[in-house]
Amino acid sequence: MIYQGISVFTNKPIDVKVQGKFIQEVTPSKTKGHLPYISPGFLDIQVNGYMGNDYSLEDFSVDQLLKIISHLNRSGTTQHVPTIITSPRERILMNLKTISRAIRCSEDIAHAIAGIHLEGPFISPKDGPRGAHNAAHVRPPDLSEFQQWQEAAEGRITIVTLSPEWDGAIQFIKAISAAGVTAAIGHTAASPGQIKAAVEAGARLSTHLGNASHPMIPRLKNYIWEQLAEDRLMAGMICDGFHLPKSVVQVFTRTKGLERLILVSDAAYLGGLKPGLYKWNDVDVQVFDDGHLGLPGTEALAGAAHLLDWDIPRFMEFTGYSLKETIPLCTQNPARLLRMSDHYGRLEPGAPANLVLFDYEPGMDRLRIMKTIRCGKEVNVLE
């Protein structure tokens, strides 16, 4: 199969020949007339759910997983990392088993899922840093509990977000890092010294940097500056226009550099639903008229309502960077964090045939996705 489009990396028309699950050949295209952009498929390392489906629900099922994948297909996201947030012990265990069973039974699901992200329950219990996570289930790091979850996940847990403020957190970070799992700092009230210790122990990611924090922090010595200055930490960033102001996105980008930034959607259960007040994991969450999710009566956010097809244009609008410079933030960079193939996120022979064709012009709210290909197959989308 041959897919034609304007390369997001060279801005020139190309023919991408796909054989099986891989790109076989990339050549200049002689086709005249309008062509869509062609890009590697997006990789989102933080997807909680979408449109009333969620990886942390008590009644989570394979059917919900399939719906999430279908919605992501529509956004050009070919791979993602299901994210389970702070929940009761047994629910996490049960939902991990459901995801693993689905992967075993479906080749397409196996291709769509690049690992599992546990965002909690080992996070800060304090208001602000805890975000919308249920305080009743927040608890200190427990390696034996994690090992039980990893066994249920059949080794698929690739990221754990936790706060270094807990006693035992540094030992936990050392243990999971040695096992090849990415330790991520997030939902934290840790001191700068605790952040430094976590990085020395092996932490390599800041989860949605700048969010899930106190409304007021010390102006110079705080957990945001410490993570921002640490070159060993990559930084996840929700660039939907609600979670971070334009100026903050600009400063984070200039400080971290493009090679250490990862665009994530943080898409949540209520994303895509109509405005109103909803109950989510025993927490009241409001879908506001402007599309963002938050805790009613506060300025606290509660996950995100948009996918990467929306966030990519926001990042370009805020920073002035091009598609060529932006696309690696949700392809090559997350793949490097997850220790995936060096070919991942590239338009070259030998790379996985994960592709997205889309139209885009400056000023558009989102990319207009025309076709999504995963491992050489065009994937079905929800209408």
CATH of the domain at 337: 3.20.20.140
Question: Is there a domain that residue 187 lies in?
Answer: yes
Question: Is there a domain that residue 351 lies in?
Answer: no
d(CA 313, CA 338): 24
What domain range includes position 306? Answer: 41-341
Q: Is the pLDDT of residue 33 over 90?
A: no
Q: What's the number of domains the chain is made of?
A: 1
Question: Is there a domain that residue 360 lies in?
Answer: no
Query: What number is the average pLDDT over the span 52-66?
Result: 96
What digits encode the pLDDT tens for the residues 296-306? 888 777 779 99
Q: How confident is the model at residue 90 (pLDDT cuts 50, 70, 90)?
A: very high
Question: Is there a domain that residue 378 lies in?
Answer: no
Contact status, residue 79 vs residue 308, Cβ threshold 8 Å: no
Structure tokens at 170: 């540094």
What global pTM score does this model have? 0.96
Question: Is there a domain that residue 33 lies in?
Answer: no
| pLDDT in the model for residue 297 | 84
Q: Is the pLDDT of residue 368 over 80?
A: yes
d(CA 332, CA 119): 22
Query: What number is the average pLDDT over the span 156-166?
Result: 98
Q: Which residue has the higher pLDDT, 233 or 293?
A: 233
Query: What number is the average pLDDT over the span 149-176?
Result: 98
| pLDDT in the model for residue 231 | 97
What digits encode the pLDDT tens for the residues 173-204? 999 999 999 999 999 999 999 999 999 999 99
Q: Is the pLDDT of residue 381 over 70?
A: no
| pLDDT in the model for residue 382 | 42
What digits encode the pLDDT tens for the residues 91-109? 999 999 999 999 999 999 9
Question: Is there a domain that residue 218 lies in?
Answer: yes
| pLDDT in the model for residue 48 | 96
Question: Is there a domain that residue 310 lies in?
Answer: yes
Query: What number is the average pLDDT over the span 195-221?
Result: 96
Question: Is there a domain that residue 366 lies in?
Answer: no
Query: What number is the average pLDDT over the span 12-28?
Result: 97
| pLDDT in the model for residue 290 | 79
CA angle 41, 42, 43 (to 5 degrees): 120
